Chains A and B, each alone.
Chain A
């Protein structure tokens, strides 16, 4: 198992290298000069040139690239142009709201969507199946910000049940935090739920047609036990695969949801940094998100071995 983990980590390195390259190329090859941004509006050409030299922007692209990679490898992500704060510190300060939001959305999803999908497959073509499928199509189709605004409009503005916007840390005031968190996490969970419920349904449906399910029935298992004990564990691999891939969806959702509900998380930080052309922060955050994605999928690779004894590396 340890070797497996080590190997998976080793395999994540080239992937992260690809990510770093894409991010570097994106920021370096696009028009617009970071030095101009840094220098400010009233700086003369000499000042800009000096900053360019300081930042190493006048050196050949390859030199810049490897220089930058070297810095990253040593854990140095640079300093924000705008706030002069180290990028890592900036991310650390804004991490909590995002983590709390994402985790609560994942919990809501797994608790609700997996059983719903399994039941929909079991009762294939019944009203409950159609209902779950319809909900999942809606979840896929309505943009998260529209859902967010609808929830705000009806539950906060009209009914005054929840606060409109803002963030309260669960570590300072759990009750207020819960009230502030309810709508954003629901908004974020909806699209994720749509995805997971669908995949659960289709993979359980697939498994229910397999021979060993017939064997399970022939042994005298009641239908309920056939579903939970035999079908669902065999459908687990595709489900957790999609949970992993869905992390990308979740990250996009976080960015939008934080904007709608005005949460001071890393998603907002990213958008603000992009709009302000704060290059080191953008680079750092892109790498950060990619690392999360790769890390979660690494955990999922390890989970495969646990849920399916046939998988060996």
Chain B
């Protein structure tokens, strides 16, 4: 009894950092992720920018000492494309995850707290979830045109109902806790109760969910590119690099495999990070709390 109570009431402060450092998998994946982010930001320094030049003479060279990941159909260095592409892809992932989390949280908090609003909003969320996310994104981007805004918005759309449901479920369970009742009993108005006593309980699951959304958004950008509605090819992203490779895949498989594996590695690092954070932050799933008297 007391063990459960204490494990549950751990304050959040410092736990996040501790979580990052205490687990080997989490540590490795954060280091890997950091390396990928840095390599994307400093891609120019690492590979130069002349590597985007179209050099028909050098097209479809296999991987070797000169071109680590080979060259694509236009003679561009795939390694350089992958590093530079990371900039746009990671940015899309980050923006989509954060905006999904913010919008979803706002809706979820209000819906969970105002009973009369709940059925209406939840039907809308059900509707949003029923539309296959990737098809919606393809349609939106192809209609509006492949801008950063459009792609981020298209990916965010599908994530909002998930966050809303998550936050709502936390609100619904926390609002029954006696400490929330006690705050209401002190005469604190609903909005303050929501922000002061309920929102903090959502933070831990939200961090975890945002991590997963980040991974999913990077994947979605790649899929959009692969399906031919990603960013235009003049600025590389993992999506459009993969799209370029599609036509020549049989002759030059590295054009898809190299960026694909790089992408997979990134997404895996993010997912593992999310798992690690969840094990540490989400008491519903952490086993440690279960071992009690």
Pairing of A with B: yes
Binding site for B on A (CB under 8 A): 14-19, 21-23, 26-27, 30-32, 124, 133, 137-138, 140-143, 145-146, 149-150, 153, 157, 164, 202, 205-206, 209, 245, 248, 251-252, 255-256, 259, 270-271, 274-275, 277, 282, 285-286, 289-290, 293-294
B64 within 8 A of A: no
Assess the A26–B140 pair: CB atoms within 8 A.
yes
Q: Assuming the A-B contacts A141-B264, A145-B242, A153-B257, are A290 and B223 also in contact, with contact meaning beta carbons closer than 8 angstroms in the complex?
A: no
Chain A residue, CB-CB nearest to B260: A146
Is B135 within 8 A of A255, CB to CB? yes
Note all chain B residues with C-beta closer than 8 A to A133: 275
Tell me whether A248 and B133 are in contact (CB under 8 A): yes
Whether A141 contacts B215 in the complex (CB less than 8 A), given A18-B124, A146-B260, comes out as yes
Q: A15-B123, A145-B226 are in contact. Are A26 and B256 (CB under 8 A)?
A: no
Closest residue on chain A to residue B162 by CB atoms: A245
Answer whether residue B128 sits at the interface, using C-beta atoms and an 8 A cutoff: yes
The 4 closest A-B pairs by CB, nearest first: A18-B127, A146-B260, A30-B143, A141-B268
B135 A270 Cβ-Cβ under 8 A: yes
Chain B residues near A275 (CB-CB < 8 A): 142, 228-229
B139–A282 CB distance below 8 A: yes
B143 and A26: CB pair below 8 A? yes
Give the residues in chain A near B143, CB-CB below 8 Å: 26-27, 30-32, 277
With A143-B223, A153-B253 already in contact, the answer to whether A22 and B260 are too (CB < 8 A) is: no
In the bound complex, residues from chain A placing their C-beta under 8 Å from that of B132 are 248, 251-252, 255, 286, 289-290, 293
Q: Which of B124, B227, B268 contacts A137 (CB 8 A)?
A: B268
Determine if B152 is an interface residue (Cβ-Cβ < 8 Å).
Answer: no
Known contacts being A26-B136, A32-B143, A140-B271, is A205 close to B130, with CB within 8 Å?
no
8 further interface pairs, Cβ-Cβ under 8 Å (given A15-B127, A18-B128): A140-B267, A143-B226, A143-B260, A202-B285, A252-B133, A256-B226, A275-B229, A290-B130
Report the minimal beta-carbon distance from A276 to chain B, rounded to whole angstroms. 10
Please report the C-alpha to C-alpha distance between residue A184 and residue B129 in the assembled complex, in whole angstroms.
25
Taking CB atoms, residues of chain A closer than 8 Å to B227 are 255-256, 259, 271
> Are B138 and A271 in contact, CB atoms less than 8 angstroms apart?
yes
- Cβ–Cβ contact B260 & A137, under 8 A: no
A-B contact pairs, 18 of them (CB 8 A): A31-B145, A137-B271, A142-B261, A143-B263, A146-B261, A149-B249, A149-B253, A149-B256, A149-B257, A149-B260, A153-B253, A248-B133, A255-B135, A275-B142, A286-B131, A286-B139, A290-B127, A294-B130
Neighbour of A146 across the interface among B124, B130, B135, B256, CB < 8 A: B256
Question: Does B180 have its Cβ within 8 Å of any Cβ on chain A?
Answer: no
Q: Mark B106-136, 1 if CB is under 8 A from A, else 0.
A: 0000000000000000011011111111111
For the complex, is B281 an interface residue (Cβ under 8 Å from A)?
Answer: no
Given A153-B253, A205-B287, A274-B142: A23 touches B131 (CB 8 Å cut-off): yes
User: Which residues of chain A are near B271, meaning CB under 8 Å?
Assistant: 137, 140-141
Query: Which residues in B have some Cβ–Cβ distance to A below 8 Å?
Result: 123-124, 126-136, 138-140, 142-145, 215, 219, 222-223, 226-229, 242, 249-250, 253, 256-257, 260-261, 263-265, 267-268, 271-272, 275, 285, 287, 290
- Please report the C-alpha to C-alpha distance between residue A308 and residue B258 in the assembled complex, in whole angstroms: 47
Q: Is the CB of A19 within 8 A of B257?
A: no
Bound together, the chains give a CA A150 to CA B40 distance in angstroms of 25
Which B residues are CB-close (under 8 A) to A145? 223, 226, 242, 256, 260
Candidates B127, B219, B267, B275; contact of A19 at CB < 8 Å? B127
Complex CA gap A146/B260 in Å reads 6
How far, in Å, is B42 (CB) from chain A's closest CB? 24
Please pick, from B139, B142, B222, the residue contacting A143 in the complex, using a CB distance under 8 A.
Answer: B222
CB neighbours of B124 from chain A (8 A): 18
Which residues of B lie under 8 Å from residue A255 when comparing CB positions? 132, 134-135, 227
Report the minimum CB–CB distance from A119 to chain B (whole Å): 17
Shortest Cβ gap from B157 to chain A (Å): 9
Please give the distance in Å from B18's CB to the nearest CB on chain A.
21
A14 touches B123 (CB 8 A): yes
Q: Tell me the minimal C-beta distance from B130 to chain A in angstroms.
A: 4
User: Chain A residues with Cβ under 8 A from B133's Cβ?
Assistant: 248, 252
Structural contact, B130 and A19, CB atoms closer than 8 A: yes
Query: Smallest Cβ distance from B111 to chain A, in angstroms?
Result: 15
Chain B residues near A31 (CB-CB < 8 A)? 143-145
Least Cβ–Cβ distance between A125 and chain B, in angstroms = 9
Chain A's nearest CB lies how many Å from the CB of B214?
12
| Chain B residues, Cβ within 8 Å of A157 | 250
Q: CA A245 – CA B130 in complex, angstroms?
A: 9
- With A251-B132, A282-B139, A286-B135 already in contact, the answer to whether A146 and B257 are too (CB < 8 A) is yes
A58 vs chain B, min Cβ distance (A): 20
- Across the interface, name the chain A residue whose C-beta is closest to B158: A248
Complex-state Cα separation, A202 to B129, whole angstroms: 23
Residues of chain A within 8 A (CB-CB) of B129 are 245, 248, 293
Chain A residues with CB under 8 Å of B287's CB are 124, 205, 209
- Complex CA gap A274/B256 in Å reads 24
How far is the CB of A204 from the nearest CB of chain B, in Å? 12
Q: Which residue of B lies closest to A14 (CB)?
A: B123
Q: Is the CB of A256 within 8 A of B135?
A: no
